[in-house]
């Protein structure tokens, strides 16, 4: 797979590095490898990097058993993916997508570190849901090559990618990100670097108010979710969606939105914070608004 990067005709995206072995990192790895791009998965430990690759193997095996893909294609996808705990293994990547915890204190130093490791022409992207991309860009010596490429959860199933252009990004970088998203079979939309971009800026007041409604005792979790599915034709209710996103990530998103806009609808309701404190983060820990342990 050869993708021209903007106007730089000789530069191609053949190799993508992904940092972070959480929900989103795994999904983006699957999407890119299926698009024929070599993927380097980097996690903080070799064990979690290997687990991520094994998770991808299991997901591909399931797709083969359901006759969604051929065994030979699954093998080819897996063969494109390597797992490592060394940041240095990202040196040859044309694009690195960082999908680690939603915390600027973690993301900004990682960008500075990536900048010192990756080849100068590489594009550095963040999968942040809300945080200011420009702050990551200016931590590097290549701010024109830094932007947001925001996949949605689950990445293999969701068609949208928001391409977030901070003030510092060049047109060539934005064009390259759009081309990458299209090559991954996604529908990219371009958006300015504002907290929440398009989707989360509109979605999170709704999710937060659903948690508030439950906290107020207006209805049960099941009835709130059932109402929004049956009444609005949404495929999933708001509390089940919070569980899917992860309550820690959701609180981080609300905090970033509140920090930027000071709109009370973005102020995370106390119940969400208490659930995070209790470790009830949603599907990823087996419990959130619903129980996933069985």
Alpha-carbon distance values, 252 to 11, 200, 214, 221, 278 (Å): 36, 12, 20, 22, 16
**22 interacts with ligand NAD by CB under 6 A:** yes
In the complex, minimum distance from the CB of residue 127 to ligand NAD, in angstroms, rounded to a whole number = 4
Q: Which one among 6, 17, 20, 238 touches ligand NAD, defined by CB under 6 A? A: 20
| Binding range to ligand NAD, per CB under 6 A, among 63-71, 151-159, 210-218, 228-236 | 151-159
**21 interacts with ligand NAD by CB under 6 A:** yes
- DSSP structure class, residue 266: G
CB nearer ligand NAD, residue 5 or residue 161: 161
- The candidate with the shortest Cα–Cα distance to 273, out of 263, 258, 262, 260, is 258
Q: Which positions from 48 through 107 interact with ligand NAD, judged by CB under 6 A?
A: 99-102, 106
Q: Which one among 23, 39, 108, 251 touches ligand NAD, defined by CB under 6 A? A: 23
* Catalytic site residue from 43, 102, 162, 170: 162
| Binding range to ligand NAD, per CB under 6 A, among 64-72, 80-88, 245-253, 260-268 | 245-253
- Determine whether 150 is an active site residue: yes
- Determine whether 129 is an active site residue: yes
Structure tokens at 102: 């939603």
279: CB partners within 8 A, 6+ apart: 285
- Determine whether 162 is an active site residue: yes
Strand (E) positions, 60-182? 81-84, 95-98, 123-126, 146-151, 160-165
In the complex, minimum distance from the CB of residue 43 to ligand NAD, in angstroms, rounded to a whole number = 6
Q: How far apart are CA 124 and CA 146, in angstroms?
A: 5
**245 interacts with ligand NAD by CB under 6 A:** yes
Structure tokens at 172: 């060539």
Q: Which positions from 124 through 143 interact with ligand NAD, judged by CB under 6 A?
A: 127-129
Alpha-carbon distance values, 74 to 1, 17, 78, 237 (Å): 17, 20, 6, 33
CB nearer ligand NAD, residue 127 or residue 168: 127
The residue at minimum Cβ distance from ligand NAD is 22
Burial 190-225 (b: 16+ CB within 10 A, else e): ebebebbbbebbebbbebbebbbbbeeeeeebeebb
**276 interacts with ligand NAD by CB under 6 A:** no
HSE-up of 38 (CA within 13 Å, CB side)?
A: 12
In the complex, minimum distance from the CB of residue 72 to ligand NAD, in angstroms, rounded to a whole number = 30
**28 interacts with ligand NAD by CB under 6 A:** no
In the complex, minimum distance from the CB of residue 292 to ligand NAD, in angstroms, rounded to a whole number = 14
* Catalytic site residue from 26, 30, 150, 208: 150
* Cα dihedral 273/277/278/281 (nearest 10): 70
Active site members: 129, 150, 162, 200
């Amino acid at each position: 797979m050869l993708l021209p990067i903007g106007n730089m005709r000789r530069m191609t995206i053949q190799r993508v590095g992904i940092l972070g072995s959480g929900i989103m990192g795994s999904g983006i790895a699957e999407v890119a490898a299926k698009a024929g791009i070599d993927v380097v998965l980097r996690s903080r430990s070799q064990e979690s990097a290997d687990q991520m690759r094994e998770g991808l193997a299991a997901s591909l095996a399931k797709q083969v058993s359901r006759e969604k893909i051929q065994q030979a294609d699954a093998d080819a996808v897996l063969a494109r993916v390597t797992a490592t705990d060394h940041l240095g293994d990202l040196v040859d990547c044309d694009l690195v997508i960082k999908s680690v915890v939603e915390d600027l204190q973690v993301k900004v130093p990682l960008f500075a570190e990536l900048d010192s490791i990756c080849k100068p022409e590489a594009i550095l992207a963040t999968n942040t849901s809300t945080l200011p991309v420009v702050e990551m860009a200016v931590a590097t010596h290549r701010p024109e090559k830094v932007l947001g490429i925001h996949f949605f959860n689950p990445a293999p199933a969701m068609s949208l990618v928001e391409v977030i252009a901070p003030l510092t990004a060049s047109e060539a970088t934005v064009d390259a990100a759009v081309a990458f998203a299209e090559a991954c079979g996604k529908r990219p939309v371009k958006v300015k670097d504002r907290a929440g971009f398009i989707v989360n800026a509109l979605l999170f007041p709704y999710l937060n108010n659903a948690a508030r409604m439950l906290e107020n005792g207006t209805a049960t979790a099941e009835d709130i979710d059932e109402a929004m599915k049956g009444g609005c034709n949404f495929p999933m209710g708001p509390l089940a969606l919070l569980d899917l996103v992860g309550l820690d990530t959701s609180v981080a998103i609300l905090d970033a939105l509140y920090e930027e806009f000071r709109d009370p609808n973005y102020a995370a309701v106390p119940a969400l914070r208490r659930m995070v404190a209790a470790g009830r983060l949603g599907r990823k820990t087996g419990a959130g608004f619903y129980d996933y342990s069985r």
